[in-house]
Structure 1
Amino acid sequence: MADPAFAIELKGISKAFGPVQANKDINIAVPKGTIHGIIGENGAGKSTLMSILYGFYKADAGEIFINGRLTAIPDSQAAIRAGIGMVFQHFKLVQNFTVLENIILGAEDGPLLNTSLAKARKALADLSREYELDVDPDALVEDLSVGHQQRVEILKALYRQADILILDEPTGVLTPAEADHLFRILRGLKEQGKTVIIITHKLREIMEATDNVSVMRRGTMVGHVSTDETSPEALAEMMVGRKVLLHVDKGDAHAGETVLKVEDLRVRDDARVERLKGVSFELRAGEILGIAGVAGNGQSELLAALGGIQRATGKVTLKGADLPLSGAGANGRARRDAGIGHIPEDRQTLGLIMDFTAWENIAFGYHNEPKYQKNALVMDNAAIRADTEAKMATFDVRPPIPTLPAKSFSGGNQQKIVVAREMESDPDVLLIGQPTRGVDIGAIEFIHKQIIALRDAGKAILLVSVELDEIMSLSDRIAVMFDGRLMGFRDPASTNERELGLLMAGITGEAA
């Protein structure tokens, strides 16, 4: 019998996947009614540890205690019976079901759904009111924002009577405003006596939301600290095993000639709604132009149109030559051939084929390059694998196994594969969407350095990020998007978060 004051105690947990030791002799105790952070770099073993707790994996060794009692958790149903709920980084929702249908899925009272739906509707109303989890029970999940879909996942767990809630990278796909609302929800859960575990690598979230934090590094637990007795710098050093630069170290830009010129760019979606409304700007060699804005204000459409994967109107020139915005010449391959690289915002949909291996994903889009060809008919797979090994070493992809499918890597390591492929292709213009979304602190530092190095090598970089501090730290100029328009340009040295925040809300500024 363990200490009943702890909601969870894990003792001596170990788990290996073939030669990879994901968890090694892990010990952790989480007090009841607290918010506990578990942080570490991608590949540190955080998600594996929580997947063991939720019954997705079986530990090779060790014991699990829930509320002081030794508990066997062979599967997720056993975890739910033990009062554990989990919200995954990539949600487990049926997109064409309603919110209510998703809530009861797997927890029906019997073969007649009407009774289950009526019961769930009342419970959902009570939970929504109690925890500020406002969501329309009759809305289709596919019509909800990412933030509201996450609320549905939390409601699913609470409907199943979860007293312990695990959230894996909960803000990886949220806007700053949605993240702030999530933290309010978590504090409300804590006040009601729930125990919350946050798996993350974002130090701001840890400092803002947690009571205690445990730090993992390369499959081991390296320390437990009270949040109010530590600092971001100390946590970063524990995570990485060395001192980490938490700000971007860069010199002045030496911008050259205009490389990319965009005039009156417009995009309509499938419903003929205009999403990009006459955007115009110039991008010069040797500079980073940052696009700030709340997600959903046209940034995605801008990247897609420039990357050749979204039909548009207007005029775009690259080094003085017109780029097609529709028709046969408007595609990703033609853009790459012209010298435009693209790190897409959604790595799993646009950046990778999840069932294919890392070495196959490294070659995608560049498979016709001479270095990947054995002869006119056959690709040189050995050369691609060797190139992938080199890229994995340079970008610290973990585990460094080119033959693993992309879906076997953590979200951050999937991002590193995409970043490595596009940055190493030596483009003249690099379009970057959310470069560090779901990426750990050590990798963020590395990716930021690579972006600056590309700028210093004379490359033109268009950077889109919902992380305002990232935009302000990396950019040489900042443009703010609201409702499909550029609201104005600002110098990072003379602006501030308040001014940019007002522009992001469309409150001030003249459309540019």
Structure 2
Amino acid sequence: MPIIDMRQITKRFPGVVANDKVDFQVEKQEIHCLLGENGSGKTTLMNVLFGLYHPEEGEIYVKGEKVRISNPNDAYKLGIGMVHQHFMLVNQMTVLENIILGNECGSFFLDRKESEAAVRDLITRFNFKLDLNQKIADLSVGMKQRVEIVKTLYRGADIIILDEPTAVLTPQEVADLFVILHQLRRDGKTIIFITHKLNETMEMSDSVTVLRKGVKVADLKTRDVNQNDLAAHMVGRQVEHIVSDSVESYGEVVLSIKDLVLNDKTRIPVNLSVRAGEILGIAGVEGNGQQELEELIIGTMPVRSGKIEINGQDITSKPVKDRKDLGIGYIPADRHKNAILSNFSIIENYLLGYHKDKDYIKNGFIDFRKLESDADRFVTEFNAKVADIGDPISSLSGGNQQKIVLSREVSHDPILVIAAQPVRGLDIGAIEFIHKTLLRLRHEKKAILLISAELSEVMNLSDRIAVLYEGQVSAEFPRGKYNQEQIGLFMAGRTEKEVEV
């Protein structure tokens, strides 16, 4: 008998069926991966189980009993806890205060000693290595996640849901998390692990349920499948694994960054360069200067210290338009904020950043015939699924929106492409296409700066890799010199000398 048995769960939002008659079963004391692309309905299904959403149809059984879960308090009473992708912690409170908040021991008054003893017992039993008196604000992301797990256990959960728990962890923190989860399973806990990462699924899980577009498409034992099988279930076809080949020679330096300060606190200068026909990958845990690097190069953030050159020309003080005129194609990390206008048509979005381009402006007026012709051609060439280029770009999926941005930015023959988080939130098929496009541009001798929080993406595509930690380059090296574990140490602030010892 499964410990969790969700039957024919249907959850609708305006215009969207997020879960369509989904059956989901989990056996006691297993690690069960709920796998699928972004937007496949994974988190929605688990929010139903945790009581944050109420399904329009379906039944839920927990430990063999039919239940109604109206809110998270009901879920906790049934032994179900959830660690969300975005942590729900109070930064100015201590670890202990966050764990016991809302569930303190004592009948009428807070019994802090009893609460602390219960928390210390959990920390010792599962080897969490947490300082209860430390402020949350002073913790690493990995430690904050441990606090969330202890908080869930403290509330009595023996079924723990983790939503994309490795999204912002270093490889070492991921390994530490996996050790903790295996210990929890040995202690009798059941783990539901929401992810879209195939390698984690293969490494961690006993069983896998795959969702695609809100529908369950597979229930599998992990030992019976491989990553290619899982990818095919996720997208409905075989997916090609894209890895860059080696290059014998590069062209001249296209982008040169000299003594650029990314972090006003450390003020340690950054020096980087990218050559024609080269992909320089920027790795690191998010929040270590990647956003600043992106914005300083394109010109949306003023340079306070340092120098930026394109093909030897100083652009440090030039406006964004002048930089783009020199041949920068820009795919920003946040496409909704910096790359598209959601209510504008697909055609109009192709004009963004090129509204003064001589190809589209004739005698002071926009040449819509030329713009429409180019938009139609770009959509076709980049295989974007578009009903009508006159439709709002908001009507497209995230992957197709990104294809519009990509096609716009690389179709004006740039010499440098800044690709920041280019596949964030995209499905495997769109990722495959974008990776192929970046490698094609590299073979066309474009210089490419790839900024990504996905270490596997950086390792697969880059010719050289630079790791950012607290606004400085902790290491820079050719692809293949270091393995994933060693790069993870750089992401945590270690230097090359420390890692090589």
Using the size of structure 1 for normalisation, the TM-score is 0.79
Aligned to 2:20: 24
Once the two structures are TM-superposed, the CA of residue 510 in structure 1 deviates from its matched residue by 12
Paired amino acid for 1:290: G
Residue 321 of structure 1, aligned match among 313, 317, 326: 313
Equivalent position amino acid for 2:158 in 1: D
**Secondary structure of 1:485 counterpart:** strand
Residue 100 of structure 1 deviates from its aligned partner by 3.2
TM-aligned CA deviation for residue 30 of structure 1: 0.5
Deviations 1:107-165 (A, max 9, x none): 356897x7165443332222222223333334333333222222222122112111111
Pair 90,253 (structure 1): closer, same or farther in 2 beyond 3 Å: farther
1:103/1:120 contact within 8 Å kept: no
Q: 8 Å contact 2:280–2:462 — kept in the other structure? A: yes
Q: Which residue of 2 aligns with 1:485?
A: 473
Q: Which residue identity lines up with residue 320 of structure 1 in the other structure?
A: G
Aligned counterpart, 1:166? 161
Q: Any conservation in 2 of the 1:248–1:445 contact (CA below 8 Å)?
A: no
Does residue 273 of the first structure (1) align with residue 266 of the second (2)? Answer: yes
- Pick closer, same or farther for the CA change 1:390–1:73 going to 2, 3 Å: farther
Partner of 2:110: 115
> 2:236 is matched by which residue type in structure 1?
G
CA distance in 1, matches of 2:61, 2:275: 59
**Are positions 1:52 and 2:48 aligned together?**
yes
Give 1:425's aligned amino acid.
Answer: E
In structure 1, distance between residues paired with 2:209 and 2:15: 25
Q: Which runs of 5+ in 1 are unaligned?
A: none
The aligned runs of 1:186-197 (5 Å cut-off) are 186-197=181-192
User: Does the 8 A contact of 2:328 with 2:415 survive in 1?
Assistant: yes
Aligned to 1:136: 131
Identity of aligned residues (%): 41
Match for residue 39 of structure 1?
35
Mapping for residues 323-402 of structure 1, pairs under 5 Å:
323-324=315-316, 339-343=327-331, 347=334, 352=336, 358-359=342-343, 366=352, 369=355
What is the distance in 1 between the residues matched to 2:117 and 2:399? Answer: 41
Distance 1:93 1:343 in 2: 32
**For 1:282, which of 245, 248, 273 is the aligned residue?**
273
Distance 1:360 1:65, change over 3 A: farther
Q: Is the 8 A contact 1:32 1:195 kept in 2?
A: yes
Shift, 1:508, TM fit? 3.0
After TM superposition, the structure 1 stretch with the greater mean CA deviation from structure 2, 114-123 or 415-424, is: 415-424
What are the equivalent positions in structure 2 for 1:465-484 lying under 5 Å apart?
465-480=452-467, 484=472
Unaligned runs of 5+ in 2: none
Alignment length, in residue pairs? 478
In the aligned structure 2, how far is the partner of 1:465 from the partner of 1:48?
A: 26
How far residue 76 of structure 1 moved from its aligned partner, in angstroms, is 2.0
Q: Show the 5 A alignment for 1:190-209.
A: 190-209=185-204
Change (3 A) 1:182 1:420: farther
**Counterpart contact for 2:260–2:307, Cα < 8 Å:** yes
Contact 2:242 2:435 in 1 (8 A): no
Summarize the Cα distance change of 1:434–1:108 in structure 2 as closer, same or farther, 3 Å threshold.
same
Distance 1:232 1:59 in 2: 32
Pair 1:508 & 2:497 matched? yes
CA contact (8 A) 1:254 1:287 kept: no
Pairing partner for 2:450 from 463, 467, 480:
463
Would the alpha carbon gap of residues 248 and 66 (structure 1) be closer, same or farther in structure 2, given more than 3 Å must change? Answer: same
CA offset digits 1:279-311 (Å, max 9, x no partner) = 333212332112345667655554453344364
Aligned residue for 2:55, secondary structure, equals coil
How far is 1:41 from its partner?
1.4
User: What is the aligned partner in structure 1 of residue 242 from structure 2?
Assistant: 247
Conserved 8 A contact 2:255-2:308:
yes
248-257 or 216-225, which deviates more: 248-257
Residue 449 in structure 1 maps to residue 436 in structure 2 = yes
Shift of 1:75: 2.0
> Cα deviations across residues 467-487 of structure 1 (Å, max 9, x unaligned)?
443223211233455672364
- 1:415 to partner: Cα distance: 8.1
Alpha-carbon shift at residue 214 of structure 1 (Å): 0.9
- Residue 289 of structure 1 aligns with an amino acid whose one-letter code is L
Aligned counterpart in structure 2 of residue 305 of structure 1, from 296, 305, 313: 296
Q: Could you say if the C-alpha distance between residues 344 and 170 of structure 1 is closer, same or farther in structure 2, counting changes exceeding 3 Å?
A: farther
Tell me the TM-score normalized by structure 2. 0.80
What code does the residue aligned with 1:237 have? A
Task: Assess if the C-alpha contact under 8 Å between 1:173 and 1:437 holds in 2.
Answer: no
Asked if 1:82 corresponds to 2:78, the answer is: yes
After superposition, the Cα gap between the structure-2 partners of 1:188 and 1:257, relative to the gap in structure 1 and judged at 3 Å, is: same
Contact 1:172–1:437 at 8 Å: present in 2 too?
A: no
* Pairing 1:69-108 to 2, within 5 Å after superposition: 69-108=65-104
- Code of the residue aligned with 2:495 in structure 1: it is G
Distance 1:95 1:336, change over 3 A: farther
Q: Deviations over 1:243-298 (max 9, x none)?
A: 011233668587444221122333442xx322x33x33321233211234566765
Q: Contact between 1:293 and 1:481, CA under 8 Å: does it hold in 2?
A: yes
Q: 1:21 to 1:268 in 2, by over 3 A?
A: closer
Q: Distance in 2 between matches of 1:456 and 1:91?
A: 41
Shift in alpha-carbon separation, 1:249–1:240, aligned structure 2, 3 A? farther
Once the two structures are TM-superposed, the CA of residue 208 in structure 1 deviates from its matched residue by 0.8
On the 8 A contact 1:343/1:422 being kept in 2, the answer is: yes
User: What secondary structure does 1:41 align onto?
Assistant: coil
Q: 1:43 to 1:480 in 2, by over 3 A?
A: closer
Q: Which amino acid in the other structure matches residue 282 of structure 2?
A: I
- Greater shift, 492-501 or 101-110, is seen at 492-501
- CA displacement at 1:166 relative to structure 2: 0.6
Provide the residue aligned with 2:405 in structure 1.
421
Q: Does the CA contact (< 8 Å) of 1:202 and 1:441 recur in 2?
A: no
User: Given the superposition, is the C-alpha separation of residues 116 and 104 from structure 1 closer, same or farther in structure 2, using an over 3 Å criterion?
Assistant: farther
